[in-house]
Chain A
Amino acid sequence: MTVTSEPRASRRLLEGSEAIAEAMIAAGCRFFAGYPMTPFTEVLEHMAAKLPAVGGVCMNAESELEAVGMAWGAAATGTYAATGSTGQGLSLMQESLAEISFARVPLVVLNMARAQGDYYQATRGGGHGDYRHLVFAPMDVAEAVELSQLAFHLTARWRNPVLLFGDYYLAHTTQSVAVDPIDFGPVPAPEWALDGSTGGTGRARLVSPLGGGKRRDDVGYDLSEHYRDCAAATEEMLDTVEPLVDTGFVDDAEVVVVAFGTPGRYIRAAVRSLRDDGAKVGWVRPISLVPFPSEAVAGAARGARAVAVYENNQGQMIDDVRLAVLGACPVRFIGGLSLDHSGFGIAPDLDVAVLRERIAAVLRDAKER
């Protein structure tokens, strides 16, 4: 996925939060519920300002738990709905996010994260039970505009929550973008959704994390059957959805750097800078974290001397990288916690010079071995 560079009349200077809000609305989102928390707050502000104008509803929920509940209720009526927060708020929502997955209700969830320590929460799911969410991590506002819309398409197609992994930079960086609606193709009509109309017909619909089967005799819900059905649907989703990835200079790279989100932009710049000096380095930037682009990582690692992983945490995505590389070459961690006193991820590391040096060190070390 590349950022288009042709000048267009529809381009405007938009802060990430506002661009994401407009993109969600362009995708058909008509219900949003949220609770203020930095750096997610502005998304809520923009949705509160913009949704009523298109006949949508934005609820200022009294807590994150109620926000995800309201979004669940709206989504169960077939309305395109979303909610979000930052990592801590998403922690509060985890029970509901798991059960929404078992209820097969579509929902887009934003994590405007503080740094990148929420990778495990996002990709492993911080809730209980066997469920998976599709997860996308934009590196800039333009990508966020496209991925926000893709999220609504995929959640409606698969009836499974989709998470957009953003961060403080994304929320507050202003970029020139065009928020044009993207047509990702048709999705099945929500025949399962509730609006009251099947009441009294003998076939009243049910949306339940315990299953869709109505009682007809001595048997109530059959959770064993239901969880197996959910597992099968999850498997089909993960097998079918194409991983999204951005790679650069991997064909002859001796060191491949893996990074996602905002740091991915800086890594690209650092790699380009090293290439200008003749160093054979490249990058693999996962855009979808679930499904993880394992093949791209494995392919890039095959010819390399080492894989370096940069992430603004103590090492989480590196697990997925190691699994993909599967011992083909050493995997080195060049990331770490890089914050200012606010803890919001104002990262001293995000400096091309700093990152260049870390990558160069891996390259030097790899050549010596």
Chain B
Amino acid sequence: MEHIEGHAVVDTSAPPVEPARLVEDFTPALIDVGEHGLCPGCGEPIAMRSAVEAIAELEVIQRTIAVFGIGCYTAFSNNLDVEVMQALHGRAPSLATGAKRAKPDTVVFTVQGDGDMVNEGLQEVLHAAARGERITCIMLNNGVFGETGGHMTSTTVLGQRTKNTLDGRDAEAHGFPILLSNLVAQLEGAAYVARGAVNNAGNVARTKKMLLRAFESQVAGEGFSFVEILTMCPTGWFVDTQEAPGYLSEHLGSVHGVGVLKDRAAERVAS
């Protein structure tokens, strides 16, 4: 150990010399390159990590197809050791439907942002859910269109300051946010609907469980599965990276409530 800036620190420049086992590598096996241009403190890579770890844990990688929407997270569409079909803004659920119907033995999931899914693509996700399409849709919800610079979406909460609602979203002028998980849960075809978050380690772990459960639901043929993940966007929220996790709980989490909204398998066990 040595002193750096007044702290007694451990050498972290190389693996330990004492006998130790590696419990977590830099990147999960299914992410090709760790470096990306997403902002410091962005929650999307955290969610991507959880998603691919869930796929790896279920051992379904050799029959998995991911369908990406368009947003900051699109940076991962050509950076995964997962087969990927790139869709247009809002259109991932229809592509996922075609892929799954053509190849019913595959595990098909979408990765879309809130702007992609709830603005441009609202009808696509609702129709897929209503049909009970055996796909898993994942929404990375940060309440803004991140890639274009942080603009209001259909999930932006009242009072939230964005690039085109600089005085905060106002119900009179801009209407109210859509709580998509709540809408989807009402549809008969939806078998598993959950909303998680990645603003602290506990939530990351709980979200990972939701993702596992959603994929299991698909594999079991229960119907449409859906995981919404609240992610930090300090840039879009005009806050420092350390403040973003708190901002997420206080502003987004208070409206888009975290938890499991529907679990058909659990209902069956309970009844």
- A–B contact at 8 Å CB threshold (below): yes
A interface with B by C-beta (< 8 Å): 30-31, 33, 57, 59, 61-63, 65-77, 79, 81, 95-96, 99, 103, 194-202, 204-211, 213-218, 220-221
Quick check: B35 and A218 within 8 Å, CB to CB? yes
Quick check: B96 and A73 within 8 Å, CB to CB? yes
Quick check: B91 and A69 within 8 Å, CB to CB? yes
* Residue interface mask B91-134, A partner, CB < 8 A = 1: 10111111111110011000000000000000110010000000
- The CA of A23 and the CA of B30, in the complex, are separated in Å by 42
Nearest-CB residue, chain B, relative to A202? B81
**Chain A hits for B37, CB < 8 A:** 220
Quick check: A74 and B75 within 8 Å, CB to CB? no
Quick check: B127 and A204 within 8 Å, CB to CB? no
B interface with A by C-beta (< 8 Å): 29-30, 32-33, 35, 37, 56, 61-65, 67, 74-75, 77-88, 91, 93-103, 106-107, 123-124, 127
**Chain B hits for A31, CB < 8 A:** 98, 101-102
Helix, strand, loop or mixed for chain A's interface? loop
**Chain B hits for A204, CB < 8 A:** 80-84
Quick check: B94 and A70 within 8 Å, CB to CB? yes
Choose among A71, A77, A96 the residue that contacts B88 (Cβ–Cβ < 8 A): A96
Quick check: A207 and B103 within 8 Å, CB to CB? no
Q: A115: shortest Cβ distance to chain B, in Å?
A: 29
Nearest-CB residue, chain B, relative to A215? B79
Q: B109: shortest Cβ distance to chain A, in Å?
A: 11
**Chain A hits for B65, CB < 8 A:** 77, 194-196
Quick check: A76 and B91 within 8 Å, CB to CB? no
Quick check: A208 and B107 within 8 Å, CB to CB? no
Choose among A33, A79, A195, A210 the residue that contacts B86 (Cβ–Cβ < 8 A): A210
**Chain B hits for A216, CB < 8 A:** 32-33
Q: A198: shortest Cβ distance to chain B, in Å?
A: 6
**Chain A hits for B123, CB < 8 A:** 62-63, 66
Quick check: A199 and B78 within 8 Å, CB to CB? no
- The CA of A217 and the CA of B33, in the complex, are separated in Å by 7
| Contacts A61-B94, A74-B99 given; does A196 touch B107 at CB 8 Å | yes
Name 30 interchain pairs, CB-CB below 8 A, sorted by A: A31-B101, A57-B102, A59-B97, A59-B98, A66-B97, A66-B124, A69-B124, A70-B95, A70-B101, A72-B95, A72-B98, A73-B67, A73-B85, A73-B87, A74-B101, A77-B102, A196-B64, A196-B107, A199-B82, A204-B84, A205-B83, A206-B84, A208-B84, A210-B86, A214-B79, A215-B78, A216-B32, A216-B33, A218-B35, A220-B75
